[in-house]
């Protein structure tokens, strides 16, 4: 709500009515309260970026090493995030997928991370984690509820049609994940940042020279 004071011919008007002393005081108290609330929120909100140009660190139940899987072993991002190519969301790998690999890799079976992984699968000895408990991963790249980002649309265009490397395509928004351990936010993901990408000319596919821009109508992202 916007509240304004307009000066017309020396007469103070608040919302079209003469401004009495009582109304002025009420307005002043309201304005001070709003400023205090905004300042308080600004002081407690997490910064989008930090000194190392990465987002706030998110403590995960298991420090999943993206650098090991996506970097050293060059595993396709969509092997774990299987919904990215066919859904709005990218999806988080279920516990069964992690176990499917690691139950056959004895060389790292006794490392702290993998022991923690098997606690979620087999249950912890102290009983605090029941068997087959989904790992409670926390969101890192979280958008407001009024924003709709479609992973499928972007993956289909940039990866399957243009045949760009998967880590480059995912890196547009998620940064160079293959160099990270626990994933961290490295792009602002603000509306202006998205619009700036949509304003660029992107190739339609890997063989033609035709280019198009992303949509610029509001309803595409705010449905």
Contact between 77 and 206 under an 8 Å Cβ cutoff? The reply is no
Contact residues for 138 (Cβ-Cβ < 8 A; gap 6+): 58, 59, 60
Residue ranges of domains in the chain: 5-44
Contact between 149 and 88 under an 8 Å Cβ cutoff? The reply is yes
Residue 199 Cα to chain centre, angstroms: 21
Please list the residues that pair with 202 across neighbouring strands: 212
Q: What b/e sequence results for 141-152 when a residue is b if at least 16 CB atoms lie within 10 Å of its CB, and e otherwise? A: beeeeeeeeebe
Instruction: Tokens for 157, please give them.
Output: 């265009």
Please list the residues that pair with 5 across neighbouring strands: 14
**95-102 helix and 112-122 helix, angle to the nearest 10 degrees:** 120
**Per-position pLDDT tens, the chain of length 223:** 444 443 344 434 444 445 466 565 555 555 555 455 444 444 444 555 666 667 888 999 999 999 999 999 999 999 999 999 999 999 999 999 999 999 999 999 999 999 999 999 999 999 999 999 999 999 999 899 999 999 999 999 999 999 999 999 999 999 999 999 999 999 999 999 999 999 999 999 999 899 999 999 999 999 8
């Amino acid at each position: 709500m916007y509240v304004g004071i307009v000066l017309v011919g020396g007469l103070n008007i608040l919302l079209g009515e003469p401004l009495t002393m009582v109304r002025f005081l009420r307005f002043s108290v309201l304005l001070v309260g709003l400023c205090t609330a905004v300042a308080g929120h600004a002081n407690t909100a997490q910064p989008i970026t930090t000194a190392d140009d990465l987002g706030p660190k998110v403590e995960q139940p298991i420090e999943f090493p993206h650098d090991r899987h996506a970097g050293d072993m060059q595993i396709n991002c969509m092997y774990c995030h299987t919904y990215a190519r066919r859904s709005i969301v990218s999806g988080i790998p279920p516990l069964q997928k992690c176990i499917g690999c690691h139950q056959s890799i004895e060389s790292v079976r006794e490392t702290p991370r993998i022991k923690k992984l098997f606690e979620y699968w087999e249950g912890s000895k102290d009983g605090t984690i029941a068997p087959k408990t989904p790992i409670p991963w926390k969101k890192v790249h979280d958008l407001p509820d009024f924003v709709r980002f479609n992973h499928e649309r972007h993956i289909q265009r940039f990866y399957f049609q243009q045949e760009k490397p998967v880590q480059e395509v995912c890196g547009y928004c998620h940064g160079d994940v293959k160099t990270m351990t626990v994933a961290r936010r490295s792009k602002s993901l603000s509306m202006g940042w998205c619009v700036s990408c949509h304003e660029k000319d992107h190739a339609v596919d890997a063989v033609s020279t035709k280019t198009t821009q992303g949509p610029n109508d509001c309803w595409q992202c705010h449905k």
